[in-house]
Amino acid sequence: MTIRITVLFVLLTGSSFSQTIEILSAEDTHYIKITPVHLTNDFLFFQSDELSDSIKIEEINSVIMIKNNDSPITIKAVLATGYFSLFYYMLEYMYKEAPFTIPQFAGVFSVFILTGTGAGIIYGKIINSYPKEKTSYDFSTMPVKEKYTILKQILTNNKASFHKTA
């Protein structure tokens, strides 16, 4: 039993950090949230609001990385236990009430879908309630080559640790 609990605990301790990237161009006044697609020596191609776009690297004035902090292990453990307990409660209740007619089956499926959807939204609300860590990279005075190197680092492993302004 001890081993089972330890393994479950270890499995739940694996953590991760999702991140979003925003850029500010030289001729603009507001940051745009982007999903990078392709980086060349001169251009960064990206997706923003479902549209494909691109920007010259020399025109990028600043890049902001927003990292969502991970929730504590205890919260994760409670959420995971609750999530799967709810699933098995519904499943066992369903099999007790079986067999079903086809319309009743539609109802059963709807219960699983709606509960799952609600669980996804609640999970997102809890996870997104933790403070976000913001890192800005000031590109305004940098040569293009250096901007490219930092962008490449951000896109490949996100460990760019220099030229931070905040």
Partner 1 sequence: MIKKLIICAVIGLLIGKTFAQQDYMYTRPGWLTFLKNIPGDMRDYTRNPFTKKNLWGLTAITVSTGLMIYYDDKLLDASNELSDQLGWSEQTNWRMEHIGDGYLQLYVASSLIGYGLYYNDNRALQSASQIFESVFAAGTIVQLLKHITGRESPFVATTPTGRWRFFPNQTDYHHRVPEFDAFPSGHISSITAMVVVLSENYPEYSFIKPLGYLAIGLNAIGMMNTGVHWMSDHPIGIALGYSFAKIAVKKGRTQIKTSTKTSPSFSIYPLFVSKDSFGIHISFTL
- Closest approach, Cβ 134 to partner 1, in A, equals 15
- Closest approach, Cβ 163 to partner 1, in A, equals 18
Q: Would you count residue 10 as binding partner 1 (CB under 8 A)?
A: yes
- Closest approach, Cβ 68 to partner 1, in A, equals 11
Place of tokens 């919260």: 75
| Contact in structure between 69 and 63 (CB atoms under 8 Å) | no
Task: Tell me which of 74, 96, 131, 159 binds partner 1, using CB under 8 A.
Answer: 159
Sign of the Cα pseudo-torsion (128, 134, 140, 145, in order): negative
- Closest approach, Cβ 164 to partner 1, in A, equals 15
Among residues 60, 33, 69, the alpha carbon closest in space to that of 151 is found at 60
Among residues 6, 122, 10, 13, the alpha carbon closest in space to that of 70 is found at 13
Per-residue binding string, partner 1, 60-89, x by CB under 8 A, is ----------x------------x---xx-
110-143 burial: b if 16+ Cβ within 10 Å, else e: eeeeeeeeeeeeeeeeebeeeeeeebbbebeebe
Task: Tell me which of 128, 132, 133, 134 binds partner 1, using CB under 8 A.
Answer: 128
Rounded to whole angstroms, the Cα distance separating 12 from 75 reads 10
- Cβ proximity to partner 1, 126 vs 163, nearer residue: 126
Contact set for partner 1, span 95-114 (CB under 8 A)? 109, 112-114
Q: Would you count residue 43 as binding partner 1 (CB under 8 A)?
A: yes
